[in-house]
Amino acid sequence: MVLAAIDIGSNAARLLISEASVYKDGTVDFTKLCLLRIPLRLGFDVFDKGFVSEQKERKLIKTLSAYKILMDIYQVEGYKAFATSAMRDASNGKQVLADILTETGIKVEIITGNEEASILYETHIAEKLSTNRSYLYIDVGGGSTEVSLFANNHTIFKESFNIGTIRLLHNKVTEEQWEHVKWYIKTHTRGYHPIEAIGTGGNINKIFSISKRKEGKPLSLELLKDYYKEISATTVEERKHLYQFRDDRADVIVPALQIYTSIMRWAEADEIYVPKIGLADGLIKMLYNERKGSN
C-alpha cells in the first residue's frame, strides 16, 4: 500500500511517500519512497503581517502541484495533507486552502497544536524504548512546539505552545509565554523522573548529524548547550560556511536549540534521542491505521 503525507509547516512544506508492507506475523514496515522539503517559510509572512501573501500562496500552490504529480507517478492510494501553526494564525488561511483545492485537487486540513502532538505520538517511538523510564517528546517547529510525556506505558499529557523558531526570530514570544511553558513542564513532569527526551524536527536532526553520534545514541543536554553557545556566537553567513547549513536552517537553528535546552532543563532530562521522524511519519501511520480499519 503506497501512502503519502503532506505537512505544511511554518518553515517548510514536506512530502513523504511511503510503502506499507504487512508481514505474516502482523508487523508492518514503512519504506520511504520519496521525501521532499521545500522551504516556503510561510511563518515569515504570517507572524509579521497576519496573513499569507499572494506571492507565498503562489509558491505554495506550485509546490503542491508538483507534489500531486509525484503522488500520481508513485500511484499513491491515499494521502493526508495537514497545515500547522502558520496557517492556523493566518487570517486568510481558509481561503488559501480553498484556492489549493481548486487549483491542485489536494484537500488540506488545518490542525490544532494538540492534534499535531497526537499525530507525532503515532510514531510510537517511546514504546520501543525502556518501559521503566519516562520519555518527553519535544517537536520544535517554526510556529509552535509540541510536547508530550509518555510514562508507565501511558500518555500523561500532550500540549502545544506557541513558541517556535520563526516566532522567536521575529520577537513574537513574550516573557509570559516562556514562563507559562516553564511552569507547565515543571508541574506536569513532577513525579515522573528520570525523564529522557525524544527530539523531532529538522533542527535537532541537523544537530545530531553534525555531532557524528551513532544512530540510536542520545545527545546530552550539556552537548546541546555547548552547540547553542558555539553556533549563537557566529553570524548566519558564518554558520552556512562552518556547518554547511542551508539559508533556511542557519537562522532558525539557534532559537531551536534555545527551546530544546530550556524544555530539557525544566523537565530535568539529561539526554535526548533523535529518531529522525516527524509529523509526516505520524501522518503515514495514522492514514495506514485508518485504511486498515475500514477494510
In this structure, the answer to whether residues 88 and 157 fall within a common structural domain is no
- d(C-alpha 106, C-alpha 104), whole Å: 5
Does the pLDDT at position 278 exceed 90? Answer: no
In this structure, the answer to whether residues 145 and 58 fall within a common structural domain is no
SS3 for 218-229 is CEEHHHHHHHHH
In this structure, the answer to whether residues 67 and 141 fall within a common structural domain is no
Whole-model pTM over 0.75: yes
In this structure, the answer to whether residues 132 and 183 fall within a common structural domain is yes
Q: Determine the pLDDT at residue 123.
A: 65
Does the pLDDT at position 143 exceed 90? Answer: yes
Q: Of 65, 84, 112, which one is at a domain's C-terminal end?
A: 112
- d(C-alpha 112, C-alpha 260), whole Å: 21
CATH (domain of 82)? 3.30.420.40
Q: What is the mean pLDDT of residues 134-141?
A: 94
Looking at the DSSP bridge assignments, the partners of residue 144 are none
Per the structure, how many domains does the chain have? 2
Q: What is the mean pLDDT of residues 279-292?
A: 87
In this structure, the answer to whether residues 16 and 128 fall within a common structural domain is no
Does the pLDDT at position 127 exceed 70? Answer: no
In this structure, the answer to whether residues 168 and 260 fall within a common structural domain is yes
In this structure, the answer to whether residues 151 and 230 fall within a common structural domain is yes
- d(C-alpha 245, C-alpha 251), whole Å: 9
292 found inside a domain:
no
146 found inside a domain:
yes
288 found inside a domain:
no
List the one residue out of 37, 25, 113, 19 whose CA is nearest residue 276.
37
Q: Determine the pLDDT at residue 128.
A: 64
In this structure, the answer to whether residues 97 and 180 fall within a common structural domain is no
Cβ neighbour number for residue 190 with a 10 Å cutoff: 10
Q: CB within 8 A of 163, min separation 6: which ones? A: 144, 145, 173, 177, 178, 181, 259
Q: 142 lies in which domain range?
A: 124-276
Q: Determine the pLDDT at residue 130.
A: 63
C-alpha cell at 54: 499572494
140 found inside a domain:
yes
Give residue-wise pLDDT tens across range 32-76.
Answer: 999 999 999 999 999 999 999 999 999 999 999 999 999 999 999
Cα distances (Å, whole numbers) of residue 62 to 9, 65, 134, 231 = 16, 5, 43, 34
In this structure, the answer to whether residues 35 and 94 fall within a common structural domain is yes
Contact call for residues 141 and 160 (beta carbons, < 8 A): no
Flag the least confident range among 53-57, 71-75, 119-123, 141-145: 119-123
In this structure, the answer to whether residues 244 and 178 fall within a common structural domain is yes
In this structure, the answer to whether residues 48 and 97 fall within a common structural domain is yes
Does the pLDDT at position 220 exceed 70? Answer: yes
Q: CB within 8 A of 291, min separation 6: which ones? A: 1, 3, 77, 78
